[in-house]
Structure formats: C-alpha cells, structure tokens
Structure 1
Amino acid sequence: MNVISIKRAFALCFALLCFVNVVSAQKFKVIAFYTAKEDQAHISFVHEANKWFPQMAKKYNFSYDSTNNWSNLNEAYLAKYKVVLFLDTRPEDPAQRKAFEAYMKGGGGWMGFHFAAFALDKSAVPNNWDWYHDEFLGSGQYGSNTWRPTSAILRVEDRKHPATKNLPETFKASPNEWYRWEKDLRLNPAIKILASIDSASFPLGTGPKLHEIWHTGYYPVVWTNQNYKMIYLNMGHNDIDYEHKTNKDLSHTLGNPVEDKLILDAIMWMGTGKKAVGK
C-alpha cells in the first residue's frame, strides 16, 4: 500500500469515526402537551415542569419541546418524537385520540402526570375514552382523593424496572393530592405497579372532610402497562394557598432528588433504553 492509499484509509477511518460519534450523540426528542387552564395546582406544576425539563434535557442529552396546541397530536407531528408527556390533561378530540393510540401501539413512549389520568362520569372530564382509561392506564375512572396536598412515603414495588431499579425501598414524595381509582390494578396482568403508598403514610391527608383522610388501604401511584412503553405518575398537584386567595405555591413536585431520579430514569428508558446517571 503506497503513502496515498494509507492517507486515504486513515481519512476514511476518521470520517467513519466522526459519523459514529455524531450518531451516538444524537438527542432523542420529547414533546409535552398541556392545557394549564383549570386548577391553579395543575397550572403551577405545568409551569414548574416547563422550566425543569429543559434544564434536564441539556444535562441528559435529549431535547424538550412543549405545546398547548393539542391539534399537534397527529401522526406527522408525533413521528418526530420518541417520548410524549401529558402534563395535566388528555386529548378530547377523536382524531387526536386516534393518533395517540396509533403512536403508542407503534412503539412510542409516554409519561403522564396526575390529572392526565382523570375521568369521571357527569363531570367536565367525562369517562368517555375506554381504550385510554380501561386498557392503556387500566385504572378506569377517578374514585376519590386525599386533601390537602401532603407528602407521602412511597414503597417501590418493583426494583427491577429501569425506572425504579435505582430507587430506595421507600422514599418521601413531594406534597401531592393522591388519587384512588375505580379499578384494582393488581388484578390486571398487563399492569406492573412500580410504587404505592406505604402504610407509614397513614393517616394521609388533613381534611377538613373525613373522607379526604386515608387511614388504610392499598393505593398505587406509579405504574406501567407492559404492553406499551409508558409510565403513569400520580404526582403533579402542587399545594396552593387557596385559603388566603393568593394562589401562591406552597409546595413543588420537582426538586425532590429521588422523585426526580424516577422521572429521569423513566424518560431515559423510553428514549434510549438506558437509565439516567449522576442524578
């Protein structure tokens, strides 16, 4: 091999190495949908999330976009993204619902927070999307909640899942309004419960109504449907100063190191198949 051939070979190897590095450094894309029009507690979380996720995206090499235009929930738009987030609500338009279902059945990733799973007959958010609430989430409609928003001790039920394998056995979650659901998720073979309320949390809630304080029971708060690349987290309702009509934040969801790690490892699992590191 002459000198020119050797130089060409080195140049080719260098070009291939650069190409591999560029490909490996490519970011996966996350899109968050939100409404942020109802309940200051949910609006507060949306604003918090839309500040926090861009910071995490820079640190963990993914890109983060957000939109309150639900008409973007269509096949062409979703094709650009590896992971979809629902920060506070769900789509109501039949075409948007159909596009989201196709996206998930096609292997897309999804993370939903708190009110994104809410549905209740004869309410402003009716129980009228069977695939989403009964099959995909498996929870059915809303049952009840604790009040006021308080921290809870959560027990990690599955420490082998990529989203939870690096969490402690129990941890203290940020203050939240905790939900109870119509269906018992333990009876659904497709559902893997990742975290639930630990009995050390009881009594959970402060009232003033007695039924808003939980003393016993089993309450899943983080789970995945094993037929999809998804995770639902009941977190996402900040405590707000309603009593003095200031609407000021009294708590935040993000910034809790263990809870943050859960969210980030879940995002990395859906986007790359790997866990986040260093958080």
Structure 2
Amino acid sequence: MRIKNVLWLFALMLAVHTAGFGQGSQKKARFNVLAIAEGGGHHVAYSKEAKIWLNKLAAEENLKIDFLENTDKINAEFLSNYQLFIQLDFVPYAWKPEAVAAFEKYITEGRGGWIGFHHATLLGEFDGYKIWPWFSDFMGGIRYKNYIADFAAATVIVEDNKHPVMKGIPSTFFVKQEEWYVYDKSPRPNVEVLASVDENTYTPDSKIKMGDHPVIWSNLNVKARNVYIFMGHSPMLFESTDYKRLFKNAIFWAAEK
C-alpha cells in the first residue's frame, strides 16, 4: 500500500509539473512583430542573417515575429495584429494599393511602430513605378539620387546619444561595408537626426558624397514611433556588437506604445 501511495504521489507531481510547463511554453508573446524582406536580389544575404538574428532574439525575449516577402496580405485588419512593422530590406514601391492605404494609416495614427532599413529610402521611379509621395515625405521629403556601387567602409557619428535607440552605442562606430546612398537633399530639416556618416572616412574614398549625410533618423510628424537605419546591405553588419545593440534598441523603443 505504501509503495502504491508513493507511486501515486509521484505521478501527481509529474502531472502538475507537466501542466505548468505547458502553460509556460504557451505564454503569450510580449508583442507581435511583422518583418518584410525582399525574396530576391543581392540583399538576400543580409535579410537571411537578419532573420536568424531576429528569431534568436524572439526566443530570448518572448517575441512573436512573422516574415513576409510581399505586400499581398497587408491590409488594416492584418496590421492590427502587430505592434511593430520592420521593413528589413524592402522597397517603397510596387506595394498593393490596399497595403499602401493600411500602412499609411498604421503610421499616421500610431497603430504600431516602424523600423526601416536600407532599401526603404530607394525613393524615385524604379521598375516602371512612380515615387510614393507619402513615403518620401515620411522619410524627410527626400528622393534617391545615387549610391556607392563598389561599397565603402566608413565611420558613423552619433548625434543624439540621449535617444533610447542610441543607448549603449559609442559616440562613433565603424561600418565595414556599405553601399552608401545619396539623396537629392538632406532630410535633416524634416526629421530628428540620430546619427550621420562621416564621408571623409570612406575607404576607399568616393566622389559620391552629400555633405550633410544623416543615416539614422526619426520622423516626429507622425504618431507612430519610427526610426530609419540606412545600414542594411551586408550580412557582416551582424558581426558588429554596436549594430546588433542598435537594432535591438530600435525594436523595443519603436514597439512601445
């Protein structure tokens, strides 16, 4: 009898432990993230590495991240499931009309946060598509003009070290390889600049320069928390502790209501 009682107690304890584990493993995510990245082109290596890093972060921080390669599913109802929209490396053209309307509403009404990288400022006439005027205004009223096709290393200078996105980031940090864009003008008059690139540090040097060249900024004229981070071409970026900290800071700041 005594042995049976011990076995029964052991079985009960095991059942309680298993039930508790199941509840913990199905714990609701802190917040949901939608990340969109192009499925082809020469930026795929960056996006692939970004997805690996994001999935690792999601597991560590109890986040739920869904990935898309086009805008077919995007509408107001779909976006309502997400507290943060990450435009990993995705162009601001060829979006479905319903996705355009939903995204503009999401940002202007502050229904969620946004982080954009690299291709998000490829603003102009490309692949037979006209410029998206709203998105150009969102990015500070700029238009893409040129880029350093053969790449260059450079030093980025932090201009606002008190902004939460820049927490723990040194006053300058080095980017090993990037195809730095230039625009028809600086977005500075229309945005809050957090960091800029020192064009005098381009290695190798390049004649493709802007002068005043912001590379990280936020638009304060919309309700959504948002930050654009130009650097997002090479998977080598994920070898940088500073870049990963910047990315993580941006996620938790932009997702906060």
TM-score (norm: length of structure 2): 0.80
Q: 1:174-185 counterparts in 2 under 5 A?
A: 174-185=176-187
Q: Would you say 1:131 and 2:131 are equivalent positions? A: no
- For residues 143 and 267 of structure 1, what CA distance do their matches in structure 2 show? 29
The alignment of Structure 1 onto Structure 2 pairs a total of residues equal to 228
- Secondary structure, aligned partner of 1:218: coil
Give deviations 1:59-95, integer Å, cap 9, x for gaps.
2332211011411221111111110011222352222
Question: What is the one-letter code of the residue matched to 1:68?
Answer: E
Matched, 1:97 2:100: yes
Q: For residues 174 and 120 of structure 2, what CA distance do their matches in structure 1 show?
A: 22
| Residue identity matched to 1:198 | D
Shift of 1:161: 1.1
Q: Alpha-carbon deviation of 1:124? A: 1.4
Provide the rounded CA distance (Å) in 1 between the counterparts of 2:82 and 2:196.
30
Q: How does 1:61-140 map to 2 (within 5 A)?
A: 61-89=62-90, 90=92, 92-107=95-110, 108-121=112-125, 123-124=126-127, 126-133=129-136, 135-140=137-142
How big is the shift at 1:127? 4.3
User: Aligned pair in 2 of structure 1 residues 264, 140: CA closer, same or farther (>3 Å)?
Assistant: same
Q: How does 1:115-194 map to 2 (within 5 A)?
A: 115-121=119-125, 123-124=126-127, 126-133=129-136, 135-188=137-190, 191-194=191-194
Q: Is structure 2 residue 237 aligned with structure 1 residue 233?
A: no
Q: Which amino acid aligns with 1:234?
A: F
TM-score, normalised relative to structure 1: 0.74
Unaligned runs of 5+ in 2: 1-23
Q: Is the 8 A contact 2:176 2:236 kept in 1?
A: yes
Q: Provide structure 1 residue ranges, at least 5 long, that are not aligned to the other structure.
A: 1-20, 239-250, 274-279
Taking the aligned partners of 2:204 and 2:182, their CA distance within structure 1 comes to: 13
Contact 1:119 1:126 in 2 (8 A): no
Which amino acid letter does the alignment assign opposite residue 100 of structure 2?
A: R
**Compared with structure 1, are the counterparts of its residues 88 and 199 closer, same or farther at alpha carbon in structure 2 (3 Å cutoff)?**
closer
Partner in structure 1 of residue 213 of structure 2? 219
- Match in the other structure for 1:9: none
Q: Secondary structure at the match of 1:193?
A: strand
| Amino acid aligned to 1:117 | T
C-alpha distance in 2, partners of 1:64/1:37?
A: 20
Give the conservation status (yes or no) of the 8 Å contact 1:111–1:233.
yes
1:33 maps to what in 2? 36
Match of 1:5 in 2: none
Deviations 1:36-55 (A, max 9, x none): 223x2x11111111111101
Name the CA distance, whole Å, in 2 between partners of 1:115 and 1:172: 20
Contact 2:165 2:249 (8 Å CA) reproduced: yes
Bigger share in strand? 2
Q: Secondary structure at the match of 2:72?
A: helix
RMSD value over aligned CA atoms?
Answer: 2.4
| Corresponding residue of 2:236 | 252
Per the alignment, do residues 222 and 139 of structure 1 end up closer, same or farther by CA in structure 2, a change over 3 Å counting?
farther
Alignment check: 8 A CA contact 1:224 1:232 kept: yes
Per-residue deviation, 1:272? 3.2
Aligned-partner residue type, residue 201 of structure 1: T
- Alpha-carbon distance change, 270 to 253 in structure 1, aligned in 2, over 3 angstroms: same
Conserved 8 A contact 1:197-1:219: yes
What whole-Å deviation, never above 9, does each CA across 1:10-49 have from its counterpart, x for those lacking one? xxxxxxxxxxx9xx974111111122223x2x11111111
Give the alignment partner of residue 263 of structure 1, picking from 238, 247, 257. Answer: 247
The residue aligned with 1:58 is 59
Alpha-carbon contact 1:114-1:233 (below 8 Å) kept: yes
